[in-house]
Structure 1
């Protein structure tokens, strides 16, 4: 093979796309960067519910964002693990947003957020864990497929950080498979993909007092076939365990943790060229600080690509 042909093939190889979660305080700078052709990230992700309004400023803003950047839509309201179906009004708004923006990725969470209490449907206002059993699997697969039928594309489902087990909410509910076994069965049965949140895995391991959590999680990730992972999330957390009964809270309120960077180096080698997003949702920093975190992810991803044979 000539060196010219070899270099062309190397240059044609797909690169890992690096994005950031775009929040309200950064809209102006992000759009100004795009207008000046100084894109410093490959894509941005927004929370779907912030753009459910059918008209007005929010619709104009999301259209501007979608024109300026490749877009990822990340839902928090569908509650696909709830026993009740997704309310038609929420599903329609979610579908309308996907059809309007034509995003590169669409995702939701492995959780429930609605339940009937004394005959009334109540929304928890939080992402609550579901049991890893066959009944729960059948339920969420049905709801994922309903959403996918509406949006006419596959969903990515994000693994959850959880501070309680489902059995603590309902004593009659028990797990009969591990988290990773459940994720595999869910993706296979529903035809969906996985949004692999490394920070959530780390927080769960730390809250369980797991020894050498990153090394344990690296072994866990070997259970996942590379083809099912469609996006990776990176984030940090505020180490406030002493104020929260020894629990670390998944607040996305700090720079990406050292443990998360360590796990990402392993993950991006296994799940090559997977779009990667940095989240920062509380104590939001300057836009330049967020871009700095994205640049760190790019350095790691680029290093992984250079190590490929």
Structure 2
């Protein structure tokens, strides 16, 4: 595994890797896993998926300041270079791109990628500008790496919807691969921010996955409506004393329109139940996608 820190060096390393891989082959594929580091098994699962499907696997580690608000945790965001490199190597990455902020943004950026509508709800409503930062940095990384496939975990379902939208709108030649959310043994979705939780917060945070797991049963109740279901979801989360709901919403996927009737739920579109809940100072997200009968699974 090779580690590089500049845009020039990753381009040169990829050129060399493609040349070596193409020796005696008609073509090679590049798989890309963009991350902000502090890797865990969820990230490793993305690298492993890319390893199975692609000839060259590139991992990026970059804590992107554009997607942090003024009162958010950019400086506090966990970082552990040596651990990240060890986990990346174990999972099968070929190249690790670890640029600095001055390399990615040598001057104040004047060009941003802005995706409308789907960025204005859920996380976008409480984190204005967040998805502009996400779309901009992912566009830059796609331009730098020029992958054939890019791998993202479904825990960040809204982020995937945003990326898929600009990829389609701008004809970006990359296939977005949705990958299953990896969870701890007790059901908590793996996240770099879990490290912020104290013992009691960590114990209560499992209410998110437990709530998502109760929805199938609630749907079988006679007379269930979207409003009643939303109330059930919120009540169950709030049974954890430390939980403070940022949002708990039911929306179509990937369009993220409001769902107002059970006819929509039973229609032809996938439905996303999305949660964002604070435990102390830590904001956690989780979700579940419900597909119509006979529809596609959540992960490709």
Give the TM-score taking structure 2 as reference length: 0.29
Report the structure, 1 or 2, having the larger helix content. Answer: 1
Give the TM-score taking structure 1 as reference length: 0.28
